[in-house]
Amino acid sequence: MMSEEEITDRLLILLRRGVQRRLLSDVPIGFFLSGGIDSSLSTVLAAELSPAKIKTFTLTYSRESTTEGKEEDRRWARWVAERYETEHHEETIQVSNFPDNLRRILTCFDEPYAGVISTYFLAQLMSRHVKVSISGDGADELFGSYLSHRLAVPLNNYQSYRQTGDVKGLEPFDKQLDFLAKLAEPEDWAWRSKLVVFSDAEKESLYAPDMSLKGKAFSSRERVRQDFLGLSACDPLNRILEAEFRTIFPDQVLAFVDRLSMAHSLEVRTAYLDTDFVSFVAGLPGKLKIKDGETKYLLKKLALKYFPSEMVYRKKEGFLMPITQWLLRDLETYVRDTLSPQRLSKHGLFRSEYVQGLVDGLYRNNSDHHAVNKVYSLLVFQEWYDLYMV
């Protein structure tokens, strides 16, 4: 077994090779630069490899729309750009433009897509300067970063905790035992199915009677179970990573990156999906991807070769737009108008009283991102319906 230092050195060799392969182009190349380690590592390696000054691009938010995390993202993106002397460009997003922008973005999908949309704005900026770009996509999915990844080992160890009372192995959820108890299931696909936006029971409450009868033919829980069939990985984290790498990653992440960038005729490449790099990382044990609750453990060790620990170990937001903050603070009138009984009656697919309950609860309780995801998904569906079906 290779030591952590040997693995980190190998990762650097493979990632540098992946970046070099993606620098081959007969037109100028630009780099997504969010201020996080994924895009920053690609940028730094390209700066070392390229004889010409590279171009970097990031999103910022107007003062009334920003968050502390977004400000930190911008600060570190600028730090990387200055340290490695890139030609740096920024695009500022306004919350006041969100409704019109959402409708415009939905035309890129032709379907009600409620995922990440910030790529649209960054690609728009980049397309004015370059035709090919390199992003940091794939690092989270390979090394473990999302909630489902962080839960894999703690939930695998939860039954042992119930027998012994020892919280070791439950990190970083060792102080959130009630949360783990709600999710705990004997099999990983079963608890993973609880992380969907609407459970089967919630969909039953959401759908109007006719739609409810048709909706019973499709079970989100059963779909997740099928996603876990035939996995080659054995350890808890790698099973989740493999299942999502086969499904959510290509179906959602790569799909939205491709459609939103090609809306501006911008090609996006990522060094993290280099075949040699993916094969090597896939073979690493899960305990070295998330270690003692630290996500992307090995990639962060690699990043320390280039960046200060303050940057590497901070909580990042990346290119995600502050949808939660916007919906709760700035867009209540827009949300209530879009999901009003009058608008919903155009299709009659949902129980209006259930939707109004979700909206009222969102603003009454200043709810968390789970409630926001439900309302935002319905909001996107309604905007899509009004665009295409009315």
Does 69 score more than 70 pLDDT?
no
* pLDDT at position 369 over 60: yes
Q: What distances in angstroms separate CA 385 from CA 104, 208, 371, one per listed residue? A: 13, 16, 21
3-state secondary structure 221-246: HHHHHHHCCCCCCCCHHHHHHHHHHH
pLDDT digits (tens, 9 = 90+) for 241-295: 999 999 999 999 999 999 999 999 999 999 999 999 999 999 999 999 999 999 9
Taking only the tens place, the pLDDT of each residue in 137-160 is: 999 999 999 999 999 999 999 999
Homologous superfamily of domain range 4-144+242-312: HUPs (3.40.50.620)
Confidence of residue 96 (pLDDT cuts 50, 70, 90): confident
Neighbour-count burial of 136, counting CB atoms closer than 10 A to its CB (0-12 exposed, 13-18 middle, 19+ buried): buried
Q: What is the mean pLDDT of the chain?
A: 93
Asked if the model's pLDDT at residue 65 lies above 60, the reply is no
Measured in degrees and rounded to the nearest 5, phi and psi for residue 30 equal -115, 165
pLDDT band per the 50, 70, 90 thresholds, residue 386 = very high
pLDDT of residue 317: 64
322, amino acid identity: P
Quick one: pLDDT at residue 63?
65
Whole-angstrom distance, CA of residue 355 vs CA of residue 376: 11
- How far is the C-alpha of 65 from the C-alpha of 68, rounded, in Å? 10
User: Is the pLDDT confidence value at 177 over 70?
Assistant: yes
**Higher pLDDT, residue 207 or 330:** 207
State residue 87's pLDDT score. Answer: 97
Residue entry with tokens 């059963």:
222
Domain ranges of the chain: 4-144+242-312, 323-388
Q: Is the pLDDT of residue 390 over 80?
A: no
When comparing pLDDT for 117 and 5, which is higher?
5
Question: What's residue 235's pLDDT?
Answer: 94
User: What's the predicted TM-score (pTM) here?
Assistant: 0.93
